[in-house]
Amino acid sequence: MSYSPPKVWTWDSQNGGQFANINRPVSGATHDKALPRGTQPFQLYSLATPNGVKVTIMFEELLEAGFDEAEYDAWLINIGDGDQFSSGFVDINPNSKIPALLDTISGNRVFESGSILLYLAEKFGAFLPTDVAKRTEVMNWLFWQMGSAPFLGGGFGHFYAYAPEKFEYPINRYAMEVKRQLDVLNKQLANHNYIAGDEYSIADMAIWPWYGGLVLGRLYNAAEFLAVEQYPNLLRWAKQIDERPAVKRGYLVNRAFGDGPQMAERHSAADFDEFKL
């Protein structure tokens, strides 16, 4: 069935798809509600999507490395219920997307997952090299992820897993692009232990929840469809990162969906005791 766009687009609030109830063409708050506030220096408002997992991994890696000042409260934002459109959340992130962070020591709000990773790396002097060449390479790959993942999530993921109907053209178009991206990573990792070289960095933390999750079969149930076994270097790296204790903890935080263990909120290291992590 072909589609002829009208001269002027109009919004159909019942446009279908898994997230139709929260998609809208305007920004801003839909209701007044303050965000909860804990006692830790950092207040994180998030959900364990790939973008949310980036930040909880970073916090857990900082704590693992001995940065006690990186303690954080992680509050669940249920995007299916529209929590991201509360007045409190919009005050921190006017774009109404998770994750969003409040640094209570400085008073800074930080939104966009890549910005949060960079903010924390610079604040604590960790997981971001000081050498100009090495730092630039990490930044190259951090921004590669920010620019590439929308084709994986909003493109391939939407049409393959969430759209109300399956259409051959968009699935093929975005599958081709995702496989190209997987090949980029696979070739980069052929000669490097980590994404940006020999040192674990925020580039790995940014890329692993999306592309590591994909090849490990945790994203869109698409590993077989995309023949991820064709990318052995990427698989090696994905499994290597998956074994890090801080990654195991970060992956669990704000997880309130799916199979396996869940931790809707995190307020101290003791919250992991029941999971033996």
Residues 33 and 94 in one domain: yes
Q: Within this chain, do residues 251 and 206 fall inside the same structural domain, yes or no?
A: no
Q: Could you tell me if 187 and 59 lie in one domain?
A: no
Same domain for 139 and 233?
A: yes
Place of tokens 């692009």: 177
Q: Taking residues 166-195, what's their average pLDDT?
A: 98
On whether both 266 and 190 belong to a single domain, the answer is no
Give per-residue pLDDT as tens, 191-215. Answer: 999 999 999 999 999 999 999 999 9
User: Do 1 and 123 belong to one domain?
Assistant: yes
Per-residue confidence (pLDDT) for residue 15, from 0 to 100: 73
Domain count for the chain, please give it: 2
Say whether both 101 and 140 belong to one domain.
no
What are the pLDDT digits (tens) for 70-123? 999 999 999 999 999 999 999 999 999 999 999 999 999 999 999 999 999 999
- What range does the domain containing 211 cover? 132-242
Over residues 45-82, the pLDDT tens digits come to 999 999 999 999 999 999 999 999 999 999 999 999 99
Whether residue 2 has pLDDT greater than 90: no
Global pTM exceeds 0.95: yes
CATH number at residue 226: 1.20.1050.10
- Please check whether residues 255 and 151 belong to one and the same domain: no
Q: What is the pLDDT of residue 3?
A: 87
The CATH number of the domain holding residue 277 is 3.40.30.10
Residues 26 and 140 in one domain: no
Are 24 and 138 members of one domain?
Answer: no
Average predicted confidence (pLDDT) for the chain: 96
Q: Would you list the DSSP string of 198-267? A: SS--HHHHHHIIIIIHHHTT-STT-TTTTTGGG-HHHHHHHHHHHT-HHHHHHHHBTB-SSSS--BS-B-
Say if residue 61 is in the same domain as residue 169: no
Percent of the chain with pLDDT over 90: 93
